[in-house]
Amino acid sequence: MGLDTSSQPLREKLYEIIFEADTPAGKGFDVILLILILLSVLIVMLETVSTIEENYMQLLLWAEWAITIFFTLEYILRIYSARNRVSYIFSFYGIVDLLSILPAYISLAFKGTHYLLTIRALRLLRVFRILKLGTYLIESQVLWAALRASRIKITVFLTTVLIIVCIMGSTMYLIEGEANENFASIPISMYWAIVTVTTVGYGDIAPVTPIGQFIAAILMILGYGVLAVPTGIVSVELAHASKEHPYTPTDCPHCTPDDHDIDAVFCKFCGTKI
């Protein structure tokens, strides 16, 4: 779905400015974009401060909509100038770019949803590309590969923890139900078991019977072991993923996917030489 840009200098120029960070114009555009993202997130935060809202709400509102309109135009231009529009629209950054403007327009119908504009902070991930911090991108891909490889083991682990929580919650309801009004139901008792086994310990619910306190002590000790299991699983997969060391040497000049391997010569999506 690539486009011939040889006869479309405007589209090619927009592509270089919007998608590339190697040219002065592209880097300047991205820096301005990052500043506006930070400013936008700051504005949303300031709107929740009562004293600032009372005195500067109108100014903040105008600034927020000015930035939203800019991001909307930028998103349209990204689609227009992208060499592979479908690939960009459904890419990670494409979805984030869309989600970063939707809450503002949804807030016209549903009040308060504009606070979700803080999702724009995800767009700050582009700072790694702009500042040439390729090492951070490499390590993030290694971490993501480790998490994907751990998903089956983690799923089994979490299922086991949920079974333990269900059993212990039901047990505590039987033991504490009559003597302690805080354990009023099995779901509430399961909530207590989750808080205890994860060593969070809010303290809002606590057993009062000797047997209940004994079970609570066992869960607390068990909690330390529970925390160690996923850490060990991810650590092993992380070491394995580090050996493979996949990373993105460069963006494909034809399409937007950029998760190529370290020794990639051609794009694995469209076959273009990178």
Give the phi and the psi of residue 198 in degrees, each rounded to 5.
-90, 5
Tens of pLDDT along 99-138? Answer: 889 988 898 888 877 778 788 888 877 666 555 555 555 6
**φ, ψ for residue 273 (rounded to 5)?**
-70, 135
Instruction: Give the residues across from 33 on adjacent strands.
Output: none
- Has residue 190 got a pLDDT over 70? yes
Q: How far is residue 88's CA from residue 79's CA, in Å, rounded to a whole number?
A: 7
Q: What tens digit of pLDDT does each residue of 33-81 get? A: 889 989 988 998 888 888 888 888 889 889 999 999 999 999 999 999 8
210/220 Cα distance (integer angstroms): 15
Predicted TM-score (pTM) above 0.75: no
